[in-house]
Amino acid sequence: MRIALCQRTTYTGNKAKNIKETKEMINQAMNSCNDVDLIMFPENNCGEAEQGKTLAEYAEPLNGEYVTKMQEMAKEYKVNLLPGSFSEKAENGLCYNTLPFLDRTGKVLGSYKKVHLFDSLGGRESEIVKPGEGIKLIDTEFGKVGLMICYDMRFPEMARSLALQGADLICSVACWPVGKVLPSRAEHWDTLTKATALYNLTYFAVCNVYGEVRGSFPFGCSRVVDPWGTVTASCSSGKQIVYGDIDFAYQKWVREEIGTFENRRQDVYQL
């Protein structure tokens, strides 16, 4: 299968502009490369609420404007779509950071609500976001897809759980780093993306924001990493689309050769 990662800057408080540019990039991705099976966008691709504007005014339900527009595009281009995460309305004026998966007909096959909130390095995501309550595997035409969002990548048990439950591909959307310009945490990004794939012998695709978002500077570097831990497709900086091929036969071979799934000693782990 072939995946397209659409790396872009998200615009705070401008849902219409984010939707317009997302549509343009879907059109570009489908017209610039043959046989695209899945298109991905980054975290908070719909944008975030402006400072001073309540989240309840910006957040929307799963069947709201943003996802509905994305369903129309998935159906029009007959492509599976991970349209980035958006602010889904929750209780008590909070929201979920939600990542839906749409199939080629525009149907929402399922959605993942971010579990690990970025209460770190000066960030307090939990002040506006309610955490999800479990991991998510989506049954798709090309296998089981495990979903993650940004900070989840720092918790290796999440990706491992997805792999052990049968994930054929793990996908993550991100806005990394969030916070001050320095330190950039670029080295962490490089190590964690490769380790997530290598430890789990599973293709890992991650789409990151590029540009300024609320005074922080996510640096892009969206990429596909194969189960050997090799980066097979990668963006640098700026607004870009990169295409990566997912070879499930190769993944099967790597898993058989390395053998960490078969040789895992469950009896010695006390969790």
The string of pLDDT tens digits covering residues 195-214 is 999 999 999 999 999 998 88
Tell me, what's the pLDDT at 265? 83
Which candidate in 15, 46, 88, 114 is catalytic? 114
Give the range of the structural domain holding residue 211, as residue numbers without chain letter: 2-268
pLDDT digits (tens, 9 = 90+) for 117-172: 999 877 888 888 999 999 999 999 999 999 999 999 999 999 999 999 999 999 99
Q: Is a pLDDT exceeding 80 seen at residue 53?
A: no
What integer pLDDT is reported at residue 271 of this predicted model? 60
Q: Which residue has the higher pLDDT, 154 or 266?
A: 154
pLDDT at position 72, please?
98
Q: Has this prediction a pTM greater than 0.85?
A: yes
Is 150 annotated in the active site? Answer: yes
HEC readout, the chain? CEEEEEECCCCCCCHHHHHHHHHHHHHHHHHHCCCCCEEECCCCCCCCCCCCCCHHHHCECCCCHHHHHHHHHHHHHCCEEECCCEEEECHHHCEEEEEEEECCCCCEEEEEECCCCCCCCCCCHHHCECCCCCCCEEEECCEEEEEEEHHHHHCHHHHHHHHHCCCCEEEEEECCCCCCCCCCCHHHHHHHHHHHHHHHCCEEEEEECECCECCECCECCCEEECCCCCEEEECCCCCEEEEEECCHHHHHHHHHHHCCCCCCCHHHCCC
Number of domains in the chain: 1
Q: What is the pLDDT of residue 196?
A: 98
Q: Residue 177 pLDDT > 90, yes or no? A: no
Confidence label for 179 from pLDDT (cuts 50, 70 and 90): low
Residues 7-31, mean pLDDT to the nearest whole number: 96
Looking at residue 93, its pLDDT comes to 85
Q: Is 33 a catalytic residue?
A: no
CA-to-CA distance for 236 and 253, rounded, in angstroms?
A: 30
**Which is more confident, 247 or 270?**
247
Which amino acid is it at 93? G
The span from the CA of 159 to the CA of 164, in Å, is 9
Residue 178 has pLDDT above 60, yes or no: no
Residue predicted with more confidence, 90 or 181: 90
Instruction: Give me the CATH number covering residue 27.
Output: 3.60.110.10
Is the per-residue pLDDT at 85 higher than 80?
A: yes
What share of the chain in percent tops pLDDT 70? 96
What digits encode the pLDDT tens for the residues 95-120? 999 999 999 999 999 999 999 999 98
Cα 86 to Cα 163: distance, rounded to the nearest angstrom: 25
Output the pLDDT for position 124: 86
From the list 6, 95, 150, 207, the catalytic residue is 150
Residue, of 178 and 62, whose pLDDT is higher: 62
pLDDT digits (tens, 9 = 90+) for 224-236: 999 999 999 999 8
The residue annotated as part of the active site, out of 6, 21, 43, 171, is: 43
Is the confidence at residue 261, as pLDDT, over 80? yes
